[in-house]
């Protein structure tokens, strides 16, 4: 089996940027659904309106900073001015969201640039590998020994983005994508760029540099920003106000519906952050496509997640790809591909390890990431085997229109098979996503431990793991 089609064991990215803000500011609890005086209008007034109001209030300063960054590019200013403004706006944004804890992010940025220069001056190569070792070592030492757990958890997502940027610069210089290491002002501006520093996502240095171009603002730009912001607020409302009042019965046979509800709430909080990151990115000038000099109309496209492909998935492989597109790209290009010469198995392990370390060191994250990796790999090889055996479009990834299979995607049995695997993926997502409910805010601030994870899965009789095991045994018998 060629591994090219299943190019990476990606991550569930459950600690995506600033997840804690969705819980810290919008946690209304499940108690409201038991209120005998509950009415939909009252729920609208007491949950929907406050959620939207607080969401706008919290993000407005960042949105204004990003828009100011974009406006400055409309003037014919030296590029150095843009980088200085990027540093200034980034520091202001971090001070607003993280207050004094921004020193963690600044120290990582300084350390990363120092590692880049040392590797460049002494080795002249292996810059990416050196940066990876230095950055990961810093993150591990801070998390395990030096940083206060609640403080570190608050800035973990931001640290992850900065770490990914530092490592990507090192590998890009090694691979020739970047001709040379950016100077200290350019590098710092890139690391703390307001369009991605708070809610993410990771962007390459080349993408950041394109934001400095003075593409004129037009109706498309405004409309795209408004639509993205409305999508973010809609996901926030679903996560905090709609999902919690679904399936309120406490009957034992409702436990899987409760699991789906809680996992759904988490997923939509992730979509909220994803759409916010798209909003801030576009506001700051990211995502412009089309050659203005040739008369093309500029379009604004900056995708972070594809919720529909996650909520109604074809496969788990599709889920891990579309959950966080920039993270998927980073892991594939800078971890899997660069380590593939060690063998597919070693590359998979390194990709899993990189994702786990970047997201944080705790049993909950590692268990979910490892489970998802094993699930998606098992599903991939089984479906590939079935696809080859029956010459049918039932692989984990959708076939191209000109594929050589006899049984195309419109075949009834092919449709039913893909639907069954899609439902199975939703089943696994409910089981894995249950780990990230918010029933203990104090525990959440410091990260969940192994007892929390096992208690949640035990409540569901480890059903998902048993199903995955049966799926693998079936594959092993027919391969």
Tens of pLDDT along 209-235? Answer: 988 877 777 888 899 999 999 999 999
What is residue 398's DSSP assignment? Answer: P
Q: What is the pLDDT of residue 28?
A: 37
**Is residue 55 a contact partner of residue 279, using CB atoms and an 8 Å limit?**
no
- The whole-angstrom separation of Cα 456 and Cα 424 is 19
388 contacts: CB under 8 Å, gap ≥ 6? none
- CA torsion 470-471-472-477 (nearest 10°) is 90
Q: What is the pLDDT of residue 434?
A: 75
Q: What is the pLDDT of residue 247?
A: 79
359 tagged catalytic: yes
Q: Which SS3 state, helix, strand or coil, does residue 5 take? A: coil
Q: Report how far apart, in Å, the C-alpha atoms of 471 and of each of 279, 320, 397, 475 are.
A: 40, 19, 18, 6
Q: What is the pLDDT of residue 16?
A: 40
Q: Kindly report the backbone phi and psi dihedral angles of residue 9, in degrees, each rounded to the nearest multiple of 5, phi listed first.
A: -85, 100
First to last CA, the chain: 11
Bridge-partner residues for 299, per DSSP?
289
- The whole-angstrom separation of Cα 330 and Cα 333 is 5
Angle ∠(13,19,24) on CA atoms, nearest 5: 160
Of 153, 258, 359, 428, which residue is the catalytic one?
A: 359
Which helix or strand (DSSP H or E) is residue 463 part of? helix 463-478
Task: Look up residue 81 and give its two tokens.
Answer: 């001015």
Task: Look up residue 51 and give its two tokens.
Answer: 């959620």
Instruction: Delimit the domains of the chain by residue range.
Output: 75-210, 362-479
Q: Is the dihedral of CA 182, 188, 194, 198 positive or negative?
A: positive
DSSP calls for 199-251: T-----HHHHHHTTS-PPP-HHHHHHHHHHHHHHHHHHHIIIIIGGGSS----
Q: What is the pLDDT of residue 187?
A: 96
Q: What is the pLDDT of residue 218?
A: 80
Q: What is the pLDDT of residue 446?
A: 52
**Is residue 408 a contact partner of residue 414, using CB atoms and an 8 Å limit?**
yes
Bridge-partner residues for 407, per DSSP?
392
Q: What is the pLDDT of residue 383?
A: 94
Task: Look up residue 201 and give its two tokens.
Answer: 């996502």
Q: What is the pLDDT of residue 31?
A: 40
| Residues present in the chain in total | 479
Q: Which SS3 state, helix, strand or coil, does residue 407 take? A: strand
Instruction: Give the chain's residues under pLDDT 70.
Output: 1-38, 250-253, 290-296, 345, 436-450, 452
Instruction: Determine whether 3 is exposed, middle or buried from the number of CB atoms within 10 Å of its CB (0-12, 13-18, 19+).
Output: middle
């Amino acid at each position: 089996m060629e591994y090219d089609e299943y190019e990476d064991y990606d991550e569930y990215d459950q600690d995506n940027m600033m997840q804690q803000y969705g819980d810290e500011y919008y946690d209304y609890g499940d108690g409201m659904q038991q209120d005998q005086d509950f009415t939909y209008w009252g729920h609208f007034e007491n949950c929907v309106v406050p959620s939207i109001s607080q969401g706008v209030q919290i993000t407005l300063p960042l949105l204004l900073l990003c828009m100011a960054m974009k406006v400055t590019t409309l003037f014919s200013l030296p590029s150095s001015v843009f980088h200085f403004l990027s540093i200034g706006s980034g520091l202001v944004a971090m001070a607003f969201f993280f207050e004094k804890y921004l020193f963690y992010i600044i120290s990582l940025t300084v350390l990363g640039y120092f590692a880049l220069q040392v590797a460049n001056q002494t080795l002249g190569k292996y810059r990416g590998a050196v940066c990876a070792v230095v950055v990961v070592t810093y993150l591990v030492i801070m998390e395990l020994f030096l940083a206060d757990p609640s403080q570190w958890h608050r800035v973990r997502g931001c640290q992850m983005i900065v770490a990914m940027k530092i490592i990507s610069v090192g590998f890009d210089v090694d691979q020739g994508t970047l001709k040379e290491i950016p100077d200290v002002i350019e590098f710092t501006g890139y690391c703390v760029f307001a369009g991605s520093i708070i809610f993410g996502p990771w962007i390459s240095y080349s993408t950041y540099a394109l934001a400095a171009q003075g593409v004129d603002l037009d109706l498309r730009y405004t409309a795209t920003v408004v639509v993205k912001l409305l999508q973010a607020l809609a996901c926030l409302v679903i996560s905090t106000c709609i999902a919690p009042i679904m399936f309120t019965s406490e009957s034992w046979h409702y436990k899987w519906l409760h699991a789906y509800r809680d996992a759904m709430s988490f997923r939509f909080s992730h979509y909220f952050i994803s759409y916010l990151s798209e909003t801030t990115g576009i506001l700051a000038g990211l995502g412009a496509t089309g050659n203005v000099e040739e008369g093309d109309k500029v379009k604004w496209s900056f995708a972070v997640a594809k919720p529909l492909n996650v909520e109604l998935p074809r496969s788990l492989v599709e889920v891990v790809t579309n959950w966080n597109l920039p993270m998927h790209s980073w892991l594939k290009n800078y971890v899997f591909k660069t380590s593939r010469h060690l063998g597919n198995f070693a590359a998979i392990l390194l990709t899993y390890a990189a994702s786990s370390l970047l997201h944080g060191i705790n049993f909950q994250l590692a268990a979910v990431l490892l489970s998802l990796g094993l699930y998606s790999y098992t599903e991939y090889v089984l479906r590939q085997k079935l696809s080859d055996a029956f010459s049918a479009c039932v692989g984990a990834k959708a076939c191209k229109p000109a594929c050589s299979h006899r049984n195309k995607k419109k075949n009834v049995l092919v449709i039913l098979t893909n639907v069954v695997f899609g439902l199975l993926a939703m089943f696994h997502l409910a089981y894995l996503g249950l780990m990230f409910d918010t029933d203990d805010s104090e525990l959440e601030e410091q990260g969940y431990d192994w007892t929390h994870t096992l208690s949640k899965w035990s409540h569901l009789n480890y059903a998902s793991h048993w199903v995955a095991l049966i799926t693998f045994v079936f594959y092993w018998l027919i391969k």
